[in-house]
C-alpha cells in the first residue's frame, strides 16, 4: 500500500523583526546591574517582547518613587531588588542621554526571576516576598504578580 501526499507549491517568507528602542509605555525586561539607595539600574534586553541583539542593550533607571503606586516615600530599593534580578517594567519617559525611566508601579510589574543566596530560583509568595525552595528562607522583593494567578 502506498500513500501520496499532495504538495502545493508555496513560498514561506520569514520577516526579521527589527528591535526598536524603548518608547513611553513600552514593556521591557531587564536585569538589575547596580543598586543605590535612590535607584536601581537595569540592563534592558527585551522591548515589547522583541529581544535585543547581544551588545545592544539599553539602560533603564527605576527610581524609588517609581517602584510602587502607594507609600512611595517608604520604599527602600534594597528591599525591592537585588543585583541579577530580572524585572518587568514599563518605560515612563526618556531619562538622560543614556537611560530610560522605568516604573514597576503596577501589580503585573516587578521582579519575575530571582536567585537566592543558596543559588536556587526563588518563587513569589506575596507581592513583596520571595522564598528559596532549597532553604525556605524568605527574601524581600517587589514581585510581579504571576501571570497564572
pLDDT at residue 24, rounded to an integer: 94
pLDDT at residue 91, rounded to an integer: 97
Residue 90 burial (CB count, 10 A): 19
What is the helix (H) or strand (E) element at residue 71, kind and residue range? none
User: Cα separation of 127 and 70, whole Å?
Assistant: 13
Query: Nine-digit cell at 132?
Result: 528559596
Going by C-alpha positions, the residue among 35, 38, 9, 149 that lies closest to residue 87 is: 35
| 111 beta partners | 87, 143
CATH class, range 27-140: mainly beta
Q: What is the mean pLDDT of each run of 10 residues along the chain (149 residues)?
A: 64 70 95 97 96 92 93 90 97 88 96 93 93 94 81
Quote the pTM value: 0.84
Going by C-alpha positions, the residue among 126, 44, 114, 121 that lies closest to residue 81 is: 114
User: Cα separation of 49 and 19, whole Å?
Assistant: 9
Amino acid at each position: 500500500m502506498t500513500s501520496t501526499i499532495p504538495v502545493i507549491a508555496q513560498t514561506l517568507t520569514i520577516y526579521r523583526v527589527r528591535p526598536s528602542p524603548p518608547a513611553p509605555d513600552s514593556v521591557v525586561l531587564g536585569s538589575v546591574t547596580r543598586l543605590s539607595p535612590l535607584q536601581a539600574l537595569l540592563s534592558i534586553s527585551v522591548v515589547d517582547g522583541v529581544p535585543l541583539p547581544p551588545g545592544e542593550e539599553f539602560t533603564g533607571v527605576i527610581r524609588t518613587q517609581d517602584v510602587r503606586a502607594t507609600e512611595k516615600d517608604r520604599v527602600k530599593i534594597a528591599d525591592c531588588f537585588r543585583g541579577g534580578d530580572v524585572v518587568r517594567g514599563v518605560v515612563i519617559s526618556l531619562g538622560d542621554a543614556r537611560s530610560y525611566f522605568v516604573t514597576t508601579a503596577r501589580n503585573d510589574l516587578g521582579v519575575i526571576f530571582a536567585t537566592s543566596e543558596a543559588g536556587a530560583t526563588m518563587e513569589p509568595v506575596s507581592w513583596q516576598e520571595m522564598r528559596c525552595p532549597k532553604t525556605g528562607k524568605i527574601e524581600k522583593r517587589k514581585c510581579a504578580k504571576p501571570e497564572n494567578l
